[in-house]
Amino acid sequence: MDKIALDKLNAGSEDDFVRALGDVFEHTPGLARAVYAKRPFGSLGALYEAMESAVRGQSRDEQVRLLQAHPDLAGKAARAGTLTADSKAEQSSAGLDQLSEDEYTRFHKLNEEYRKKFGIPFIVCVRRHGRDSILREFDRRLGNDAATEEKAALTEVLRIAALRLDQRVSATDRLKVNGRLSTHVLDVHSGRPAQGIAVELLTVPRSGPPVVLARALTNADGRTEKPLLADQPIPIAAYELRFSVGPYFATKDIKLADPPFLDTIPLRFSVAEPEGHYHVPLLLTPWGYSTYRGS
Amino acid sequence: MDKIALDKLNAGSEDDFVRALGDVFEHTPGLARAVYAKRPFGSLGALYEAMESAVRGQSRDEQVRLLQAHPDLAGKAARAGTLTADSKAEQSSAGLDQLSEDEYTRFHKLNEEYRKKFGIPFIVCVRRHGRDSILREFDRRLGNDAATEEKAALTEVLRIAALRLDQRVSATDRLKVNGRLSTHVLDVHSGRPAQGIAVELLTVPRSGPPVVLARALTNADGRTEKPLLADQPIPIAAYELRFSVGPYFATKDIKLADPPFLDTIPLRFSVAEPEGHYHVPLLLTPWGYSTYRGS
Amino acid sequence: MDKIALDKLNAGSEDDFVRALGDVFEHTPGLARAVYAKRPFGSLGALYEAMESAVRGQSRDEQVRLLQAHPDLAGKAARAGTLTADSKAEQSSAGLDQLSEDEYTRFHKLNEEYRKKFGIPFIVCVRRHGRDSILREFDRRLGNDAATEEKAALTEVLRIAALRLDQRVSATDRLKVNGRLSTHVLDVHSGRPAQGIAVELLTVPRSGPPVVLARALTNADGRTEKPLLADQPIPIAAYELRFSVGPYFATKDIKLADPPFLDTIPLRFSVAEPEGHYHVPLLLTPWGYSTYRGS
Amino acid sequence: MDKIALDKLNAGSEDDFVRALGDVFEHTPGLARAVYAKRPFGSLGALYEAMESAVRGQSRDEQVRLLQAHPDLAGKAARAGTLTADSKAEQSSAGLDQLSEDEYTRFHKLNEEYRKKFGIPFIVCVRRHGRDSILREFDRRLGNDAATEEKAALTEVLRIAALRLDQRVSATDRLKVNGRLSTHVLDVHSGRPAQGIAVELLTVPRSGPPVVLARALTNADGRTEKPLLADQPIPIAAYELRFSVGPYFATKDIKLADPPFLDTIPLRFSVAEPEGHYHVPLLLTPWGYSTYRGS
């Protein structure tokens, strides 16, 4: 989807404004309409703050209605295909559109339990989570009291809105809603960046097979041309980087064991801050390696 | 099986000697009988050398008969249950008794091809190999000429004999037929050996799921009570060590991410020298680690 | 010294041009004058290439005169204060203006020997070398034959010219005559860049005490605000980085030994490529560290 | 000095016993005489415990006399050559016999101050300390109150006695009074222990030049034949290990920089537990290295 320029929004009509931003808050275009009056916005940050103020300024009843306007996660609306375009894309990003029957049943039960306790749907900014993490959040938040949970739900609504806004509007600034996951490989055997190493990034769910998210080749700097993940929150989840170092060393003039001591090197780690920068490098020789969370 | 003391063999009758060692060479007790005359043996090494000399001193016809006395790998004898006790144990050690129908067919075809080319069964000291490695050897040796291959087969026969001898006879010395695979974990965060970390050792075949070979807990020295593999050749294969470091750091007074950056750490490497010492340590903090082939 | 813009040189008179660049080649303004005719120059690189062509196009006699126009290293001209401004600055950069009587004598003897053998002064681009490295070059080049050595001397003359040019003229491009030496510190104990660590860079001559070249404090990224050395060739020499990690960890809530295991960490390494990028990071816990030549 | 066997002490006369052990407590043979009655001792540990009990069982007056029987550190007795043989050896182990005039004056002043405050000489088990550490202890203990300090002094008297006992008497057990400092070098470039690397161990005093304590060459296991320090307490002090890795890599078939990136590698660390095991290994490639406190 092409982004719309902030300048254009500042200069446009109220209807254009609401057409562009009305669905930043699920089924609640009134919030965009209220914010229109505050134009012009000097930055995307200022626009977001106006939207946050509009939500915080709502009465409690209005806020509850806003929360209730959200669909269940992996719920009936998803199955029936009646989600908003945003919700559909978000839920599929976390793989919630590909649950097994068992998982669907588990989500259904948790949704029921949550609605029964709090009277609202379970809302979470799914782009910030992997499937295991969503289930963990479900469990954790079911233990909250109602007041705490209303606050938590509103926080998630604002996270969702910030992400939608950041993806929809272009400006000279960005909202701090995205993280980055990158790597680089240093060949400490030759004292040079390791060029030409195939790298895979996978998510490793607690059950079920790992899923490849990105593939890349290291360049002359030992880096991949672009970060493995960027311009998005890095979902809270377990990941594995896999480096094909056997083929790399095989092209060098080095005496190796047969089979070589190191062939595919897996690095497994978890992301806990979706907006963080995760740089996970590999320092490599044919006989050993190091890794660490870098910066 | 209890070992028999070298002293006892030195002092015993020829029949006792042949009863004990007759099957060190497959279906060829004559070799043990020939060696009996050379008693007494000052060491297991001396006994083995006498046996090797007996084989090397055979005529070419005798040697070919010795080679032909061996069963096929994963062949009809294995299926029919007519292997010698030694061969049965050896073939099952490499998982050759648990092949899928496809794999059985592949072995069958290779056996046929090999017999047709060389007129002898394919002989390999299977205790030194994982399944992938045996297939690789098959491919590699099918490319040999007949003279080279007869030599190679004889080398394998002697490796098999050395292993059988080392397991059967106790003496003050051992034959250099065994390797060792060990690990230890150093907590570089606290400057101490890491105690209480659960470690798993698995083989990682090219196809099919990894198989757990050993489980252990690190002790106050950061080591496992005994090596993960010892007193045997370490089969040529790919391995993975898995360290449960998440639960370890959770018991310390440390600020960790949630989920922790490191939880299960996999180290993947291959063994190329079955008689080698593979010490693969883990130097650990909550945010990074190193490994290398140590000594 | 303020740089002069390439555009201005392109637009100026021949006299201005020669006034600005006449001493890029020692006592040989005729080369600049010859190059003036080739204006305009689209880049600094193009200007340098024109100057190089002018030198390469000289007759052998002219080239020998150019070589002979250079002063001795640490020679009488230096003592008498009759060096050109450029030569004076260059020789002092390598500490050649601060030799002990013994060292002066050694240089004097080498100069004599060299002049006697080759009939020209010993020329080396001293900004690319530490004092030990200059002496090593002296020894090495005294072993050359005359033809090889004339070529080597000319190469040095061009290196000197390129450096003078790069420092004197501003353009959109730079000549590839400079290197960089930098560091950063990662605290693998807390998974964060280490902020507030005092870092010193010293040269470590073979004899005599180390000399501090730069001091800096690591910032929130674990880096120093600017590279420790940049915008210059990194002299071929031995260096030591010193990191005050004791005071850093003392401010953290960590149980340390008393005295702490690590206090000042020295990293010693040599630079061999003056135009290279030397990134020498420190990965740190209170009980261990790693370093490597990074990129 | 040859050790005397515990058995012999158990079987010998009271006079022999006192002749052998009378000076374990400075100028106080009565303690050994009192302990003689408790024979036989099943172990060196039991003998030490009897001696400790004898001291703890003394009246306060006797204990103060015992403390007062000790000489000043680096005091007049040392200068006049009237120390007991034990005290002389101990003080010289910490270099207290080689103080500059300034340092002697500083010790003299601290001695005076201490005696004035507590009425006893400053007693410390000097074999457990370097010179800087003794001065630090002096400062620290001058801040104590009298009761705390009498206890501290008695603890030091017992440490001195344990060390003298352990060095004088042979038995099947040893007292836990000694530490160990060792290293090994692993060449992660070739996956093998690094053989033939020259290693130096130095103490690095706060002022004054480092002093070489030990020199060794790594063997085929990458270790030195024996620990660099053992069979003694490791004095609390700063140390530096220096590894000559340039010459090592020069013998290998490796493309190195000229000069090589790594030549002499210094590892600097402090010992805080004289009875501890300090294993400080070096994991090495031509372009980087790691170290850590190992086990």
Q: Which of A189, A283, A290 sits opposite D189 (nearest CB)?
A: A189
- Which of chain A's residues have a Cβ under 8 Å away from the Cβ of C293? 188, 191
Q: DSSP string of B170-189?
A: E-SS--S--EEEE-BEEETT
Dump pLDDT digits (tens) for A160-201. 999 999 999 999 999 999 999 999 999 998 889 999 999 999
**CA–CA min distance D191, chain B (Å):** 6
The question of whether C184 is a catalytic residue gets the answer: no
Upstream peptide bond of B259 is cis (omega within 30 degrees of 0): yes
* Cross-chain residue pair A272–B291, CB shorter than 8 Å: no
Tell me A23's DSSP state.
G
Ranges under pLDDT 70 in chain C: 1
Pair B180, B228: CB distance under 8 Å: no
Q: For D189, which residue in chain A has the nearest alpha carbon?
A: A189
Please identify every stretch of chain B with a pLDDT value under 70, giving residue numbers as ranges.
1
Alpha helices of C169-266 — where are they, by DSSP H? Answer: 245-250
Rounded-to-integer distance, Cα C226 and Cα C235, Å: 18
Cα angle for residues C107, C110, C113 (degrees, 5° grid): 150
Q: Do D295 and B188 touch (CB under 8 A)?
A: no
Name the strand (E) or helix (H) holding B92.
helix B85-93
Q: First and final CA of chain B: distance in angstroms?
A: 31
Tokens of A163: 């992400």
pTM of the full structure: 0.87
B135: Cβ contacts below 8 Å, ≥ 6 apart: B106, B110
**What does the alpha-carbon distance between residue D30 and residue D9 come to, in Å, rounded to a whole number?**
16
**Rg for chain D, CA atoms, rounded:** 23
Which residue, C68, C71, C63, C70, is CA-closest to C31? C63
**CB interface of A with B, residues 31-70, below 8 Å:** none
Residue C257 near chain B (CB below 8 Å): yes
Contact (CB<8Å) B268/A272: no
| C212: closest CA of chain A, how far (Å) | 26
295 residues of chain D, pLDDT tens digit each: 689 999 999 999 999 999 999 999 999 999 999 999 999 999 999 999 999 999 999 999 999 999 999 998 888 777 778 888 888 888 888 888 878 888 888 899 999 999 999 999 999 999 999 999 999 999 999 999 999 999 999 999 999 999 999 999 999 999 999 999 999 999 998 889 999 999 999 999 988 889 999 999 999 999 999 999 999 999 999 999 999 999 999 999 888 999 999 999 999 999 999 999 999 999 999 999 999 998 7
A84 Cα to chain D: minimum distance (Å): 54
Task: Choose, from A27, A70, A189, A279, the residue flagged as catalytic.
Answer: A70
Chain A residues in contact with C295 (beta carbon < 8 A): 184, 186, 192-193, 221-222
Closest chain A C-alpha to D92 CA, distance in angstroms: 44
Residue of D nearest to C286 (CA): D292
List the single residue in B188, B191, B287 with the smallest CB-CB distance to C191. Answer: B287
Q: Shortest CB distance from C292 goes to which of A186, A294, A295?
A: A186
Residues 6+ positions from C44 with CB-CB distance below 8 Å: C6, C165, C166, C169, C171, C173, C174, C175
Chains B and C form CB pairs within 8 A to the count of 34
Chain B residues in contact with C189 by the CB 8 A cut-off are 189, 285-287
Q: What is the model's pLDDT at position B74?
A: 82
Answer whether B259 touches C (CB < 8 Å): no
Q: Which residues of chain A neighbour B282 with C-beta distances below 8 Å?
A: none
CB contact under 8 A, D186 and B295: yes
Task: Check if the beta carbon of residue A75 is closer than 8 Å to that of residue A93.
Answer: no
Partners of D260 on chain C (C-beta within 8 Å) are 270, 272
Give the one of D186, D188, D295 whose C-beta lies nearest to B186's C-beta: D295
Question: Is D261 an interface residue toward A (CB < 8 Å)?
Answer: yes
Contact list in B for residue D188 (CB cut-off 8 A) is 292-293
Query: What is the distance in angstroms between the Cα of B52 and the nearest Cα belonging to chain A?
Result: 27
Residue in D261, D262, D290 nearest the CB of C288: D290
Test mutation, B183, B189, B293, chain A, max A CBs within 10 A: B293
Cβ separation of B295 and D188 shorter than 8 Å? no
pLDDT digits (tens, 9 = 90+) for B249-276: 999 988 899 999 999 999 999 999 999 9
Beta carbons of B285 and C257 less than 8 Å apart:
no
Contact B268, B291 (CB under 8 A): no
Over residues A78-89, the mean pLDDT reads 84
Interfacial C residues in 101-130 facing A (CB < 8 Å): none
List beta partners, residue A290.
A283, B290
pLDDT of residue B242: 98
B193, B185 in Cβ contact below 8 A? yes
Q: State the nearest Cα–Cα gap between B76 and chain D, in angstroms.
A: 42
The H or E element spanning position C164 is helix C146-168
d(CA D198, CA D59): 54
Two structure tokens written together for B134: 């045996």
Answer whether B188 sits within 8 Å of C261, measured CB to CB: no
Q: CA B159, CA C246: separation in Å to the nearest integer?
A: 56
B255 Cβ contact partners less than 8 Å away, ≥ 6 residues apart: C190
CA atoms of C142 and C110, how far apart (whole Å):
9
pLDDT tier at A236, thresholds 50, 70, 90: very high
| Nearest by CB: D186 against B191, B222, B292 | B292
> Hey, is the C-beta of C283 within 8 angstroms of any chain A C-beta?
yes
DSSP B118-171: HSS-----GGGB-HHHHHHHHHHHHTS-HHHHHHHHHHHHHHHHHHHHHHHEE-
Residue whose tokens read 């757990």: B212
Contacts of B293 in chain A (CB under 8 A): 261, 287-288
Specify which residues D217 forms β-bridges with. Answer: D198
Q: How many residues does chain D have?
A: 295
pLDDT in tens, A55-80: 999 999 999 999 999 998 888 777 77
Q: Are C188 and A283 in contact (CB under 8 A)?
A: no
Residue with tokens 């008695």: D154
Cα dihedral across residues A65, A68, A71, A76: positive or negative:
negative
Q: Do residues A193 and A184 touch, judged by C-beta distance below 8 A?
A: yes
Q: Report which of D236, D232, D223, D225 is spatially closest to residue D271, judged by C-alpha positions.
A: D236
From the centroid of its chain, how far is CA D238?
A: 13
Residues of A in contact with C290 (CB under 8 A): 283, 290
Neighbours of chain D (3+ CB pairs under 8 A): A, B, C
D162, D215 Cβ separation under 8 angstroms: no
User: What secondary structure does DSSP assign to D96-153, as a single string?
Assistant: GGG--HHHHHHHHHHHHHHHHHHSS-----GGGB-HHHHHHHHHHHHTS-HHHHHHHH
Give the SS3 label for residue C130: coil
For residue D78, the model assigns a pLDDT of 78
Sorted by sequence, the CB contacts under 8 Å of residue C171 that are 6+ apart come out as: C5, C6, C43, C44, C47
Whether C188 has its CB under 8 Å from any CB of chain A: the answer is yes
Let me know: does C161 contact C24? Beta carbons within 8 Å.
Answer: yes
Cα Rg for chain C, rounded, in angstroms? Answer: 23
Q: Which of C173, B64, C289 is nearest to D269 (CA)?
A: C289
Residue B114: predicted pLDDT: 96
Q: Which residues of D touch C263 (CB under 8 A)?
A: 238, 268, 270
> Cβ A270–B285 below 8 Å, yes or no?
no
- Any CB–CB contact under 8 A between B250 and chain A? no
Minimum CA–CA partner of A255 in chain D: D190
For residues D122 and D111, the answer to whether their CB atoms sit within 8 Å is yes
Q: Give the distance from residue A237's alpha carbon to the nearest chain C alpha carbon, in angstroms.
A: 18
Q: Which two tokens stand for residue C183?
A: 């560091």
The answer to ipTM > 0.90 is yes
Contacts of C142 (CB under 8 A, 6+ apart): C110, C113, C114, C117
pLDDT, tens only, D43-84: 999 999 999 999 999 999 999 999 999 998 888 777 778 888
Counting as contact any 3 or more CB pairs under 8 A, the partners of B are: A, C, D
What does the alpha-carbon distance between residue D185 and residue C266 come to, in Å, rounded to a whole number?
18
Q: Name all contacts of A111-114 with Cβ < 8 Å and 24+ positions apart.
A: A111/A72, A111/A73, A111/A74, A111/A75, A113/A142, A114/A138, A114/A141, A114/A142
> Chain D residue closest to C288 (CA)?
D292
Please tell me the predicted confidence (pLDDT) of residue A1. Answer: 63
Closest C-chain CA to A221: C295
The answer to whether residue A93 scores a pLDDT higher than 90 is no
C258: number of Cβ within 10 Å: 9
Q: Which residue of A has its CA nearest to D192?
A: A287
